A and B are shown apart, each in its own frame.
Chain A
Amino acid sequence: MSSNPDSKIALVGSPNSGKSLLFNRLTGLNQKVANFPGITVDIASGQSVDASADSSSVQYLDFPGVYSLQAISGEEKIAIQGFINALEENLLDAVVCVVDSTRLEKGLIFALQVLETCHKYNVPVLIAANMIDVLDQHSMQFKDQGLSEALSVKVLPISAKTGTGLNELRNALADASVPPAKFQTDIIASDESINHLHAQQLAQKYGPKGELLINTQTRLDSFFLHSWLGGLSFFIIMYLLFQSIFTWAAPVMDAVEAMIQWLASVVVPVIPAGVASDFTSDALFGGIGAFLVFVPQIFVLTLVIGILEDSGYLARAAVICHKPLRFFGLTGKSFIPMLSGVACAIPGIYAARTVDSTRKRWLTYLAIPLMPCSARLPVYSLIISAFIPAQKAMGGLLGWQGLAMFAIYLFGILCALLVTALVSRSSEELRTDLPFVLEMPPYRLPSWRPLITHGLHRSQQFVTKAGKVIFAVTVIIWILGYFPNYGASLGDSWLGTMGQWIEPVFAPFGLDWRYGVAILSSFLAREVFVGTLGTMFGIDGAGENFTSLAQQIQESGLPLGAGAALLVFFAIALQCVSTLAVLQRETGSWRLPAQLFISYSIFAYAAALGMFHLVEFLV
């Protein structure tokens, strides 16, 4: 490969071969490294961070990890097709095949397929034998020279973790001109079993001898997968996840809220009284400010899910959940997409590609929009703070607000399971099980920097993507609510008039027209609810001191039953345009998104009505 200015290097390898970590090392780009098989669904790219001038323009492409070039799941098909297309279109200057040198045979089975394919397309390839540091620790030998001669390609021992061998790898890339002709005759056989035999022979001849001790992994597994301790620890971990959203984020949320209030108290008096001042106070600080308060929670949620992923626990959680999820028509592999759905339905829908059965994947799609996503969090948080006191129970161990949050999250998850259980029982085809095969990654301490960067990135995305919609909706709501009487009375404004029309729809569960307007606007994106409500309360309370939206809701005299109905409505309704669009893209038709949107709206309305009457009856 010459050092042409637009060199593109593809990184390919099996899940858990350390490929993404190597990519991070080579590019300095903090692409998230997930410790779960096949989590990298999109192809990440990054420029080389090598100090030497001539290779500064090298671009690395991180292809999703696959076990083989023969796909058995939808996700693999997409990843493999992406790689083959790049080869066909002559986009790649070289391919780095990453193998785990501690598990050489498995890596070589894949590497032999890659060599064969690269030979076909005449693209240079080299093998990066990763995790050499682990072999060094155990004083194990790896004969890279011998393997290199046997395969007629360069084999470089590296450690993506410590950085060993990375300079050699970069240098080898700079002048890699691989003569691939030999592969076809000597090494590669078209018959898969001969391919395995070759890999086995090569691994035995050149790979490390003896078994690596994975006692720590076994010890931890015997705890986390224990018949009852495993289940118990699963519930504790999930509970802590939801508590952390409140307890860890609370001080930062308070700080953001205080900052917004302080900023409003400084900025608003400077602007001459009138339309501009009212707009700044109601729409900017009232509407957008109310939404910004929840950003720390999004960050904490992403961080905690990231920690679970990186530590290797998520794969164990999938094992624990497999049997119970089977009862609900799903598989253990549905757990990861569903948990990702707790952060956001969109990555959850993408992650559902890892579910190899088409039918189970379809059922997983039904479940994901009901998972309590982070866009629901501001709404839940607002309603809970308005009704549940911030008191602690059991000597400060449990917070009532956290407990309420746990309950509403559990409600969403139960709804998801109920739907899949019912739908899967509707046809014999959907009931059929497919095999469950999942690699258990080693346990490891999460790397904090990429996790924090990922959390910040998601929070930033939340602000910029949802923020644009919220800003637009807030401005429209403010204009409609402010005119024609210049904020004198919200009830007599254009918005008030429109609100009266829709009031009958939401009145049956105790909500006045303002909540009706906020719910309608939230069909664009759920978070809009908070901004819309903030703007309307801002107009209504013009001239008063800045108080938190939760406090304003409290003071507005919203009945408890209506609050509970709101929670239930938001837990079920599919108010997210992006989710519908991604579902359409993944399924190739509008049929499923349209069906889900209509049925979940009806389900949400009926359940909210039921909840309102239940609470009114009990209280």
Chain B
Amino acid sequence: MTLWDLTQGTSAKVSRFKSSIESGYRTRLSELGFHPGEQIACVMSPGMGAPKLYRVNNTVYSLDDSIASLIEVA
């Protein structure tokens, strides 16, 4: 299951990044708080393919499917 599969109001822990993720983005996501073991909540899923909103610690980020589907959660 990936972060993109999380529905609004649910949360999960990051397990790993898929190997196809570019290293620059992997580092940046880690710096923003999306690192293995971190609890991420999907706070908003606007639908129609729009980027979803994820809450990490006290910050909300918007990620689209191209990146959220590269983060595996459990």
Contact = CB atoms under 8 A, between A and B. Distances in A.
Interface of A: 67-68, 70, 72, 102-103, 105-106, 109-110, 192-193, 196, 211-212, 214, 217-218, 221-222, 225-227, 230, 315, 318-320, 322-323, 332, 433-440
A192 to B, nearest CB: 6
B58 A192 contact: no
Interface string B17-61: 000000011011111110100000001101111110101011111
B12 to A, nearest CB: 16
B67 interface: yes
B64 interface: yes
A218 B43 contact: yes
Contacts of B32: 67, 106, 437, 439
Contacts of B46: 225-227, 230, 319-320
B10 to A, nearest CB: 14
B48 A319 contact: no
Candidate in B29, B62, B67, B70 with the most chain A CB atoms within 10 angstroms: B62
5 contacts: A103-B59, A319-B51, A434-B66, A438-B51, A440-B60
A323 B66 CA distance: 12
A437 B28 contact: yes
Contact of A217 (B28, B49, B60, B70): B60
Given A222-B44, A435-B66, A68 B31 contact: yes
A225 B60 CA distance: 13
Contact of B44 (A196, A225, A436): A225
Q: Which of A102, A192, A225, A438 has the most CB of B within 10 A?
A: A225
B67 A440 contact: no
Contact of B48 (A103, A106, A196, A323): A323
Given A225-B53, A435-B25, A440 B66 contact: no
Given A218-B44, A226-B46, A323-B49, A436 B60 contact: no
B14 interface: no
B60 A439 contact: yes
A193 B57 CA distance: 18
Contact of B24 (A72, A103, A212, A322): A72
A437 B29 contact: yes
A227 B48 CA distance: 7
A438 B33 contact: no
Contacts of B30: 192-193, 196
A437 B33 contact: no
Nearest to B34: A437
B63 A221 contact: no
Contacts of A217: 60
B62 A440 contact: yes
